[in-house]
């Protein structure tokens, strides 16, 4: 009695522990949360530290953009914006609102509708105000369009509102878009809407992937076995590892994301493939038997233990290599997929045989789909006789694939993850066409006084530095995709323009610069009232007073603090740190990287040495994170290849055989990325993972084929006969395991989320390729090289 039989004789105990574990872990399966944040999971370096420094200094950068068209800013529109801002502020979800009306409200301290109505009595006053904000560079292209037909509200979300608060963000968007005056005309977009959409996609995919995969699997099982037990036993064998894996994932406090959501269909496909090998072999052995024979179960497990363990171990290596990835989502995907495959190995070698011993099925039907001997005999004969042609064709395919890979481009923009006709894309295009780019980028400046005098001239307010910042801003705006570059210097120039009429004049002293900034922190002219004087330029070019009036409310300290906020977003109160806020049009990640690099070069050219700087913002972090991830995934693939090669060397005890065994498994990866390069499909965080996953899956078939070839050679008359017989024995198993794995990965293709769809489609493509290479190239290679030659033949 061997050790396998000894273990399986206690099959009831195996089943008991499996049932107990399932009952214990089942409550944890649905306790997961969704979190698609990327930058915090990847970066642990200066880039992330800079971003946190920016948030601490200048506030949250998560901004919603609510844009709308208009013919003219009227009193009615001002009232509607006033009410909308009040409604938005009442939610407690917004830290700050900047709009034509919020500026009006803060400038004239319009704290209630009564003071607003007093102010709106003069139409000339409103028209003059509109002209003023339209002339300010810091407002043009952001709050109002240069054409004066589009305006926006910029809503800075509260720091307590995170990416995971999709319901709160959704309520806010709904509140704005359904405001009576603007209904149907206002469009809300921005980075928070993007993360919101990705969250919704993830939640949707999480709900549909498993049911779709289960439905496909049940159809496959019924077609293959046409029996009750042929469906139930493998089905139990694939569901339990999924339950256990999902439970452990949630118990450890992990959050689901659009990458991890692809684990269930993956485990179902791999699990079914492994269980099918065991159940199909038992069906073949028990066919024609009139009663149940437990020895056939023991024989099945004994035959399949080595190749199954080796196959599953190679798959585990493929996934485990991702465990060292810098991104938490990819790392979790790799580690928990590996854990799931480990559970699948246990289930296929012990639990499925235990279920067979429990239910005692016998004389199970083996369909013609499982046999197909005439097909595999022809394939084997063709592979032997035309092996040189097959080598030539594969060499050409490899060369074409390399050409395609040379054209492969990297894409890391999350915006490109959405379908081209998605509502968020359309809203982004509207904002970019009428106002500004939707990608926020921050250039933070930090002045080092270096022990100098404690005066304003030894701060960022010095005329020299202000002029440097002005020239830097002008050069940055020359970049085609940059629509807006606003800083504290922009505020100073806007105010100065009202008096000097010079376009970009800056006062000669730091004291004057400070005074100009203080203009944006209005103070009262009297104890109970303050005077507003409006000016205009007459036909003679003279500045004349056109309106003068008083506003009744007394300005409180709180109001002064509110008015200081606009300056505080651009420069700190010690004047040692400043923020140059940029708006960039959505473009490819390669172009964004070029823009970031150009901005850094321009900053180094224009700024004095005692002014340090860094570029930051979520778009900048996403680009940095994704590029790190894709490079990590390349290294993961190299590690996977190396580990699998070592495993094959140990198993086959031959460097040459191990290297040759890798060829039909590496080719699908080269063809896959070559195809992507030739069709213009970019390399992303998700598609970059496929290399390791596909290699771990593909090598299984080579192991099964080569393992069986070694056994057949011991009894075959010649090598040609051994090649044919091996394919007759293993051909159907290899074909259907590939079909099953591809079917399992077809579930993500039901997603409208581009990364999920691409992952499913490309893995299916890779698995299908691997099957073709396995059926043609592997027999040809072994026939040509003739490894494992019996001593009697030499």
Query: pLDDT tens across 301-341, in order?
Result: 988 888 888 888 888 887 887 776 656 677 888 889 899 99
Which is more confident, 742 or 784?
784
3-class secondary structure for 418-455?
Answer: CCCCCHHHHHHHHHHHHCCCCEEEEEEEEECCCCCCCC
Nearest to 632 by CA among 263, 330, 261: 330
> CA-to-CA distance for 569 and 520, rounded, in angstroms?
12
**Closest C-alpha to 657, from 706, 599, 597:** 706
Q: Are 512 and 466 in contact (CB under 8 A)?
A: no
CA dist., res. 596 & res. 70, Å (int)? 34
For range 395-403, the mean pLDDT: 95
Per-residue pLDDT tens digits for 155-195: 989 888 877 788 899 999 999 999 999 888 899 998 888 88
- pLDDT over threshold 60, residue 551: no
- DSSP class of residue 262 equals G
What 8-state DSSP symbol labels residue 554?
P
| 563 pLDDT above the threshold of 80 | no
Q: Per-residue pLDDT for 229 more than 80?
A: yes
pLDDT over 70 for what percent of the chain? Answer: 89
Q: Please identify which residue in the block is written with the tokens 């690099």.
A: 597
- Does residue 525 register a pLDDT over 70? no
Asked whether 188 and 171 are in contact (CB, 8 A), the reply is no
User: Would the pLDDT of 396 be above 90?
Assistant: yes
Q: Per this entry, what is the length of the chain? A: 794
Q: Is 550 helix (H, G, I), strand (E, B) or coil?
A: strand
Picking from 109, 99, 132, the residue whose alpha carbon sits closest to that of residue 561 is 109
pLDDT score recorded for residue 372: 59
The answer, yes or no, to whether residue 780 has pLDDT greater than 90, is yes
Give the integer Cα–Cα distance in Å for 521 and 100.
17
Residue in the block written with tokens 């949707």:
204
Tell me: pLDDT of 44 over 80.
no
Beta partners for residue 486, in sequence order: 581
Task: Of 25, 20, 23, 36, give the one whose Cα is nearest residue 254.
Answer: 36
pLDDT confidence of residue 36: 64
- pLDDT exceeding 90 applies to what percent of the chain? 35
Q: What was the pLDDT predicted at 91? A: 92
Q: How far is Cα 536 from Cα 296, in angstroms, rounded to an integer?
A: 99
Spatial separation of the C-alpha atoms in residues 754 and 763, rounded to whole Å: 14
pLDDT (tens digit per residue) in 620-661: 887 777 667 667 777 778 888 888 898 888 888 889 888 998
Those residues with Cβ within 8 angstroms of residue 758's Cβ, 6 or more apart along the chain or in another chain? 681, 684, 686, 687
Contact in structure between 599 and 582 (CB atoms under 8 Å): yes
Q: Which helix (H) or strand (E) holds 49?
A: helix 46-58
3-class state of residue 201 by DSSP: helix
Q: Judging by DSSP bridges, how do beta strands 530-537 and 543-551 pair with one another?
A: antiparallel
pLDDT reading at 449 higher than 90: no
33-34 and 255-256 beta bridge pairing: parallel
SS3 734: helix
Of the candidate ranges 141-145, 196-200, 451-455, the one whose mean pLDDT is the lowest? 451-455
Judge contact between 614 and 50, C-beta under 8 A. Answer: yes
pLDDT by residue (tens digit) across 254-274? 888 777 887 888 788 788 888
Q: What is the reported pLDDT for 334? A: 85
The pLDDT-based confidence of 530 (bands split at 50, 70, 90) is very low
Stretch among 356-365, 736-745, 758-767 having the lowest mean pLDDT: 736-745
CA end-to-end span of the chain: 36
**pTM of the full structure:** 0.77
Give the Cα separation of 561 and 109 in Å (integer): 12
Q: Out of 18-27, 82-91, 258-267, 650-659, pick the least confident.
A: 258-267
487 band by pLDDT with thresholds 50, 70 and 90 = very high
């Amino acid at each position: 009695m061997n050790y396998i039989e000894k273990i399986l004789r206690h099959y009831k105990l195996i089943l008991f522990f499996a049932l107990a574990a399932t009952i214990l872990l089942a409550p944890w399966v649905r306790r997961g949360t969704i979190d698609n944040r990327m930058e915090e999971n990847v970066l642990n370096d200066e880039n992330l530290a800079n971003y946190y420094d920016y948030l601490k200094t200048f506030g949250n950068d998560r901004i919603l953009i609510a844009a709308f068209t208009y013919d003219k800013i009227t009193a009615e529109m001002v009232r509607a914006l006033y009410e909308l801002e009040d409604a938005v502020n009442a939610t407690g979800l917004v830290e700050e609102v900047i709009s034509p009306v919020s500026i009006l409200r803060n400038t004239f301290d319009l704290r209630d509708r009564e003071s607003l109505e007093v102010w709106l009595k003069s139409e000339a006053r409103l028209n003059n105000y509109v002209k003023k904000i339209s002339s300010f560079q810091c407002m043009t292209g952001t709050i109002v369009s240069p054409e004066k037909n589009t305006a926006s509200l910029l809503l800075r979300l509260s720091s307590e509102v995170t990416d995971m608060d999709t319901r709160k963000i959704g309520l806010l968007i709904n509140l704005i878009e359904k405001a009576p005056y603007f209904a149907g005309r206002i469009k809300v977009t921005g980075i928070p809407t993007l993360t919101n959409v990705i969250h919704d996609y993830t939640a949707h995919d999480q709900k549909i992937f498993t049911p779709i995969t289960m439905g496909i699997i049940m159809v496959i099982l019924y077609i293959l076995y046409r029996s009750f037990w042929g469906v139930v036993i493998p089905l139990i064998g694939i569901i339990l590892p999924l339950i256990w894996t999902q439970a452990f994932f949630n118990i450890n406090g992990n959050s689901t994301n659009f990458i991890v959501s692809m684990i269930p269909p993956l485990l179902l496909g791999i699990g079914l493939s492994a269980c099918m090998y065991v159940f199909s072999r038992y069906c073949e052995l028990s066919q024609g038997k009139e009663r149940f024979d437990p020895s056939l179960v023991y024989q099945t497990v004994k035959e399949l233990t080595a190749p199954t363990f080796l196959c599953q171990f190679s798959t585990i290596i493929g996934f485990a290599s991702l465990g060292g990835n810098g991104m938490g989502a990819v790392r979790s995907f790799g580690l928990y997929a590996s854990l799931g495959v480990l559970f699948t190995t246990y289930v296929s070698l012990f639990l499925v045989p235990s279920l067979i011993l429990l239910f005692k099925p016998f004389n199970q039907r083996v369909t013609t789909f499982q046999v197909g001997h005439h097909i595999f005999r022809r394939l084997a004969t063709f592979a032997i006789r035309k092996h040189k042609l097959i080598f030539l064709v594969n060499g050409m395919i490899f060369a074409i694939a390399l050409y395609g890979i040379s054209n492969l481009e990297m894409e890391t923009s999350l915006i490109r993850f959405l379908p081209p006709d998605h509502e968020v894309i359309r809203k982004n295009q509207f904002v970019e066409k009428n106002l500004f780019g939707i990608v926020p980028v921050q250039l933070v400046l930090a002045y080092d006084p270096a022990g100098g005098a404690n005066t304003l001239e030894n701060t960022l307010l010095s005329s020299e530095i202000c002029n440097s910042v002005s020239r830097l801003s002008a050069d940055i705006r020359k970049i085609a995709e940059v629509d807006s570059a606003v800083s504290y210097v922009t505020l100073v120039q806007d105010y100065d323009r009202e008096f000097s009429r010079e376009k970009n004049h800056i006062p000669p002293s730091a004291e004057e610069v400070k005074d100009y900034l203080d203009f944006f922190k209005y103070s009262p002219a009297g104890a109970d009232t303050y005077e507003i004087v409006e000016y205009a330029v007459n036909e003679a070019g003279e500045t004349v007073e056109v309106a003068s009036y008083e506003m009744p409310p007394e300005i409180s300290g709180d109001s002064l603090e509110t008015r200081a906020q606009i300056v505080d977003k651009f420069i700190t109160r010690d004047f040692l740190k400043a923020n140059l806020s940029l708006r960039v049009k959505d473009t490819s990640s390669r172009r964004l990287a070029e823009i970031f690099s150009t901005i850094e070069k321009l900053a180094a050219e224009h700024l004095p040495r005692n002014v340090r700087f860094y570029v930051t913002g979520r778009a900048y972090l996403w680009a940095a994170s994704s590029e790190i991830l894709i490079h990590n995934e390349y290294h993961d693939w190299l590690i996977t290849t190396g580990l699998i090669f070592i495993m094959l060397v140990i198993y086959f005890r031959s460097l040459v055989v191990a290297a040759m065994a890798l060829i039909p498994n590496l080719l699908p990866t080269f063809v896959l990325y070559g195809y992507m390069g030739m069709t213009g499909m970019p390399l992303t965080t998700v598609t970059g993972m496929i290399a390791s996953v596909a290699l771990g899956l593909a090598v299984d078939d080579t192991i099964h084929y080569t393992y069986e070839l070694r056994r057949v050679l011991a009894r075959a008359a010649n090598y040609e006969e051994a090649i044919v017989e091996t394919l007759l024995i293993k051909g159907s198993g290899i074909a259907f395991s590939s079909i099953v794995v591809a079917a399992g990965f077809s579930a993500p293709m039901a997603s409208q989320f581009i990364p999920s769809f691409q992952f499913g489609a490309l893995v299916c493509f890779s698995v299908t390729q691997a099957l073709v290479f396995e059926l043609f190239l592997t027999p040809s290679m072994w026939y040509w090289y003739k490894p494992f030659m019996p001593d009697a033949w030499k």
